[in-house]
């Protein structure tokens, strides 16, 4: 039986984002800059990560509170060994209707088939450029965009529903919007352009680096005939458009210019097993891992999850100003712990 709960702002809980590792094989400046995450950086030891059994138990309890969707994030989730074993268990949980994975795509050829066989069907690939040189400068690992495009082709060929996410930074990769739209339009793959946000502590964000949805759209309309698409459901985070000629959809995610906190139904579990009600949380989250390891029952866990949700009042993006950004500087949870 599902118990419907709401947070302080009346938002139900629908989505759970599980970060399965804090490691990544890229060093993108806005997430894990190489100056900070260098060779001597100490990542979480194995016993600090939630085990798969713990994640499954958490997911089962959240399903009883109304969670229907689970998204696997990182770091880079494909670096977590035997991830297919987690997927195989999550797909069986009663009430969970949808499981997605967000990845940089580099290891899809290596692990894609196992994940598909385990029951995963939806993958979001984060790819911020299609030009090899621009992409190499972004990932700081000398990885070419064409390498990721091949991995995407492979994932599509084995049956995955793939979407591509692009974080757009002014003067860094905004010149990639048109060529990427052109490429993925012909591939019949949905691409979403995301306004650059001040996630984590190390991404050097300020308002001047944001390309707004309106600016992206007017750029796009100079090259393509597009029409808006009606939202599929209330609270859909992307504004969707369709290419007039072949009907392929693309999205613009207005995380800064038109925030969507009022419909944010996401709970997050960081790679070190803490609960967060918001991507921009500053206070250290409740330590679910320690709580579970102290021997609590499922009922106690459920009561704890309820209590955590019922006091949630996060709406950071709604309130974002120069001042709130300055106030939170250096205090947020880093993105490699909490996913995007």
Residues that bind ligand SF4 (CB under 6 A): 260-261, 264, 266, 278-280, 314-317
Neighbours of 175 (CB within 10 A): 13
> Between residues 59 and 255, which has the closer beta carbon with respect to ligand SF4?
255
> Between residues 278 and 292, which has the closer beta carbon with respect to ligand SF4?
278
Residue position matching structure tokens 């494909």: 78
Q: Annotation-wise, does 294 bind a ligand?
A: no
- Shortest spacing between CB 15 and ligand SF4, in angstroms: 10
Q: Annotation-wise, does 330 bind a ligand?
A: no
How far apart, in Å, do the first and last CA atoms of the chain sit? 31
Q: Annotation-wise, does 267 bind a ligand?
A: yes
Beta bridge partners of 99: 70
Q: Are 295 and 251 in contact (CB under 8 A)?
A: no
Rg of the chain over all Cα atoms, to the nearest angstrom:
19
- Shortest spacing between CB 172 and ligand SF4, in angstroms: 22
Q: Could you give the CA distance from residue 135 to residue 176 in angstroms, rounded to a whole number?
A: 10
Q: Could you give the CA distance from residue 279 to residue 256 in angstroms, rounded to a whole number?
A: 13
> Between residues 59 and 317, which has the closer beta carbon with respect to ligand SF4?
317
- Shortest spacing between CB 312 and ligand SF4, in angstroms: 8
The token pair that represents 133 in the structure block:
């040189």
Q: Annotation-wise, does 141 bind a ligand?
A: no
- Shortest spacing between CB 149 and ligand SF4, in angstroms: 29
> Between residues 38 and 233, which has the closer beta carbon with respect to ligand SF4?
233
> Between residues 89 and 124, which has the closer beta carbon with respect to ligand SF4?
124
Q: Annotation-wise, does 102 bind a ligand?
A: yes
Q: Annotation-wise, does 278 bind a ligand?
A: yes
- Shortest spacing between CB 252 and ligand SF4, in angstroms: 16
User: Nearest Cα to 130, choosing from 182, 90, 170?
Assistant: 182
The token pair that represents 249 in the structure block:
């959809």
Q: Annotation-wise, does 28 bind a ligand?
A: yes
> Between residues 7 and 202, which has the closer beta carbon with respect to ligand SF4?
7
Q: What angle do CA 305, 308, 314 make, to 5 degrees?
A: 135
Sheet holding 15-19, edge to edge: 226-228, 238-243, 249-253, 190-195, 161-168, 122-126, 98-103, 69-73, 15-19, 266-269, 274-276, 286-287
- Shortest spacing between CB 281 and ligand SF4, in angstroms: 8
Q: Annotation-wise, does 136 bind a ligand?
A: no
Residue position matching structure tokens 């100490």: 42
Q: What share of the chain is helix, strand, coil (3-state, %, to 5)?
A: 35, 20, 45
Q: Annotation-wise, does 281 bind a ligand?
A: no
- Shortest spacing between CB 197 and ligand SF4, in angstroms: 8
> Between residues 21 and 255, which has the closer beta carbon with respect to ligand SF4?
255
The token pair that represents 199 in the structure block:
């996630």
The token pair that represents 156 in the structure block:
């599509």
**Binding positions for GTP:** 17, 71, 102, 163, 266-268
**Binding positions:** 17, 24, 28, 30-31, 71, 75, 102, 126, 163, 197, 261, 264, 266-268, 278
**Binding positions for [4Fe-4S] cluster:** 24, 28, 31, 261, 264, 278
């Amino acid at each position: 039986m599902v118990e419907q709960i709401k947070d302080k702002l009346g938002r139900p809980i629908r989505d759970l984002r599980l970060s399965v590792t804090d490691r990544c094989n890229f060093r993108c400046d806005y997430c894990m800059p190489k100056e900070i995450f260098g060779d001597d950086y100490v990542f979480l030891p194995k016993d600090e990560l939630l085990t798969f059994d713990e994640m499954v138990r958490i997911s089962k309890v959240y399903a009883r509170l109304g969670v229907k969707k689970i998204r696997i994030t990182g770091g880079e989730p494909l670096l977590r060994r035997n991830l297919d074993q987690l997927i195989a268990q999550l797909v069986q949980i009663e009430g969970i209707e949808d499981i997605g994975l967000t990845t940089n795509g580099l290891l899809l050829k290596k692990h894609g088939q196992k994940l598909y066989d385990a029951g995963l069907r939806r993958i979001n690939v984060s790819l911020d450029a299609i030009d090899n040189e621009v992409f190499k400068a972004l990932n700081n690992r000398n990885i070419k965009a064409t390498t990721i495009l091949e991995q995407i082709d492979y994932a599509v060929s084995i049956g995955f529903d793939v979407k591509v996410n692009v974080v757009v930074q002014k003067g860094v990769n905004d010149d990639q919007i048109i060529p990427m739209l052109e490429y993925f339009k012909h591939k019949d793959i949905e691409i979403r352009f995301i306004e650059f946000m001040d996630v984590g502590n190390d991404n050097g964000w300020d308002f001047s680096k944001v390309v707004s949805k309106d600016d992206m759209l007017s750029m796009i309309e100079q090259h393509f005939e597009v029409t808006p698409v009606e939202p599929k459901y209330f609270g859909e985070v992307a504004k969707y458009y369709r290419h007039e000629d072949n009907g392929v959809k693309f999205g613009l995610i207005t995380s800064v210019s038109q925030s969507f906190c009022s419909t944010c139904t996401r709970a997050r579990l960081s790679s070190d097993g803490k609960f967060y009600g918001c991507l921009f949380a500053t206070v250290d989250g409740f330590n679910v891992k320690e709580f579970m390891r102290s021997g609590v029952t499922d009922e106690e866990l459920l009561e704890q999850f309820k209590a955590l949700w019922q006091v949630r009042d996060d709406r950071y993006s709604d309130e974002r100003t120069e001042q709130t950004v300055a106030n939170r500087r250096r205090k947020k949870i880093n993105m490699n712990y909490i996913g995007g």
